[in-house]
Structure 1
């Protein structure tokens, strides 16, 4: 048995500095060296293995086995859902129904700034609610490019928009995981997260119109952006506190879209200079009319996803689907935490049916049948999707392998313990810990699994509210999503920007850090008399 040592170098600070080397390597290679993401991920993995073996004393066999487990998790469920989500998109492109959907969004408004709100913020939030794990960024970026956005701007908008809904994404998986690992009641955790992330929803739409069109965008479209954000935030707050965390993002996304559609300003003609200046086309030709049947078919895949996921979360159905889950001890791993108890990473779970990728696959099969796509063409498009995502798959598996090595060797816990040593300042730094976890793994769910229990332990040591710090881990984590290597790669693939992950990182990093600072101030305020009234 390998027992983790949080201070292998004698000093917690020095150990944390060395433990941070793998993540620092990846970020520097992406942002400064401008290396391809899959190469940066593999080099980062090598650094994590060296640190784990040389500094932390993890046996080589266990370190390699942990890396393989992480890579397996990257394939299933993460890339499993991304592949199938993009496959559905390819089916709609093949049949021409994606163009119908694009025109449908375009008829709501021809203003690129409004289109960014509708597609990236509202529709992207709906995809996050139903699928998560990169699918919202992929689909939103593709749609933005299709309506005329420059690929880089489309990717940046899609990445920044994918923040406010993340904590309740994939049918509430992150907060459900947080409740499980901390032992806190789900509704208690959901309520506090629902009093933090809705504040992001007020800010993010305003940032999107700034990204699209600078100061002019803010001056001209601040009202639609604010109305959209308020509607989204209010419904997310109400649903997460009084209805169900699983439905928080679905209701919020639909409310935000409805508020935009209902606002008269949304339908005002946009000046040609705005359309051209924001990357749109100069043509003023009216798009062709689509029949009602074609419009229904264009929305059909997403309606199917909503219906299938809604049915899947019903307790009897969920219980039935859970029976097709294989849990087993991962070969070659025998790791214990500093307390001597085996860590959860020793076991691996394969949910064959009750996973987003399988449910999206089912929606895709039904979509292919209803859109009259032959079985051979359907299979050919699926294989073409896998080929298109081959470098993204390599990046994601490399990053998750890195994350697992850091977690199993104790590197992640060292960094978390170092940050937790901040004492009363932990309330300000706790979102940073969540941000760090998502930046490494690309998943708020994984970050909550990594650091949720640690946040609670640190809260007990410092006298801070345990539920507040646990929630802060998830709320801060959503802001690390846009800088995670796997999400950057997915955005590049979707927007046809091969090898441009470094450029995107430099574009989104300031927004990520700026919003993180805002979240840190919110959580710190909620830990004091200034904003404690916000807590349930």
Structure 2
């Protein structure tokens, strides 16, 4: 049994600084050195392996096991989900229905600013609530490119739009995990989520249009921005307050999409905005059956994923369930129950499990695979051979970004099992009453490391709750701040960037997407930090 050490140098700040070197290097490699994502990830992993051995003294076999565990977790379920999502999109294109899809979107509005609100903001939020795990970024960014948007701009817009929905993820899991790990009441945490993030959610549509078309665009579309921003934010707050987080990314997006479609039938902007190079508008109006058929891959996807998320379906695969055997539980040698986590990260010392769960049927990727199969069967222009050919093309295009995701997951798992992540969190927690200003930054860092708000809350929610007790502020506030800060980190997490780059055909261009998105991520994080500090003083 190897015990984690959180201050190996006898100076908490210096230990944390050295623990953060792999993270800092990865940011530096993408933004300054402008390395390709895969090359930056390989160098970051090498630095992490050496640094963990020298700084924390973790046994070499356990370091390699943690790296392998992270890499495998990047392949399954994350890589599996990304591969299936992009394959489904390619089949939708191959089926020849995108001309109809473009036409149906144009019937709502030919103005591409409204199309961004409809697809990146509303539809993306719905996919986040139904699936999460990068599916909304992959699908919506690809849709925007088909509509004529610049690939990098399409990726950035979908990443920014995720700031309104990423906190609640698939069926509210990030908030549920945060409340559980932090030991706070779910209702209290939901209230604090409303207090911290709903104001910024109100302005996300405005931010998207400002990025796309500047303040001229905001002036020309302000009725839409006010209507959809207010409807989405207020309905999300009401759902959180009365129903909880499970439907926070399901009901508001559906309301917003329906309202936007209805509103655009009676209102149009003074100037119609079209991206340079966008396909010309078609005067043809498609019959309803053709529109339904064209959109079928996406509503089939939605129906299957919602089925996968239902509690009765999940119960089939739980321990003791009739299909529990389809979830393979593979302990990682030299790591499972071989690392001991210590206070104050946990209440009492305990060994960390390291079991790779391979859910063959219940994985979200399998739900997307079912949608792929149904799409192939229901489309007259798709055959088994052509569908398999599209899969081969998808694998050829995505193996690099999936490897990048898996390498960064390897770095994340090394940081988690070695105690490096906890070292960073503990050093920041020593800031005392100023801690609420920094609390969201811990969540931001956690998501940057792990790529997931759920993982960030698993890692740091308990630390946030302990620190809140020590400094005399609300535990629910700081756990919620960890979640809200994490959402802003999701905009530039390596996994999100890799998925976005792959979806828009910019593999190798991750550094450009990172540079264009980083400033917005930090600005949104700054808002969350300042507002959390104000709330801590008022509550």
For the aligned pair, the TM-score class normalised by the smaller chain equals over 0.9
Q: 1:243-258 to 2 correspondence within 5 Å?
A: 243-258=243-258
Q: Which residue of 2 aligns with 1:451?
A: 460
Q: Which residue of 2 aligns with 1:297?
A: 293
- Asked whether the 8 Å contact 2:183–2:465 carries over to 1, the reply is no
- Residue 399 (structure 1) shift: 0.7
Q: Which residue of 1 aligns with 2:472?
A: 463
Quote the Cα distance in structure 2 between the aligned partners of 1:458 and 1:492.
38
Quote the Cα distance in structure 1 between the aligned partners of 2:503 and 2:212.
18
Instruction: Identify which range, 220-229 or 309-318, moves more after superposition.
Output: 309-318
SS at match of 1:528: helix
- Asked whether the 8 Å contact 2:129–2:250 carries over to 1, the reply is yes
Q: 1:135-534 to 2 correspondence within 5 Å?
A: 135-264=135-264, 267-268=267-268, 271=271, 274-275=273-274, 278-279=275-276, 281=278, 283=280, 285-322=281-318, 323=324, 324-333=326-335, 334-339=338-343, 341-372=349-380, 373-529=382-538, 532=539
- Residue 405 (structure 1) shift: 0.4
- Residue 223 (structure 1) shift: 2.3
Structure 1 residues 326, 461: closer, same or farther in 2, change over 3 A? farther
Instruction: Identify which range, 458-467 or 116-125, moves more after superposition.
Output: 458-467
- Asked whether the 8 Å contact 2:308–2:362 carries over to 1, the reply is yes
- Asked whether the 8 Å contact 2:341–2:352 carries over to 1, the reply is no
- Residue 476 (structure 1) shift: 0.8
TM-score, normalising length: structure 1 = 0.93
Q: What is the root-mean-square deviation of aligned Cα atoms in Å? A: 1.9
Structure 1 residues 314, 494: closer, same or farther in 2, change over 3 A? closer
Quote the Cα distance in structure 1 between the aligned partners of 2:14 and 2:528.
28
Quote the Cα distance in structure 2 between the aligned partners of 1:236 and 1:224.
18
Instruction: Identify which range, 341-350 or 359-368, moves more after superposition.
Output: 341-350
Structure 1 residues 517, 127: closer, same or farther in 2, change over 3 A? same
Quote the Cα distance in structure 1 between the aligned partners of 2:184 and 2:327.
25
Structure 1 residues 187, 79: closer, same or farther in 2, change over 3 A? farther
Instruction: Identify which range, 241-250 or 298-307, moves more after superposition.
Output: 298-307
Structure 1 residues 325, 127: closer, same or farther in 2, change over 3 A? same
Q: Kindly report structure 1 stretches of 4+ aligned residues shifted beyond 4 Å.
A: 264-267
Q: Which residue of 2 aligns with 1:104?
A: 104
- Residue 316 (structure 1) shift: 2.4
- Asked whether the 8 Å contact 2:103–2:282 carries over to 1, the reply is no
Count of equivalent residues: 526
Q: Which residue of 1 aligns with 2:321?
A: none
- Asked whether the 8 Å contact 2:341–2:350 carries over to 1, the reply is yes
Quote the Cα distance in structure 2 between the aligned partners of 1:380 and 1:240.
44
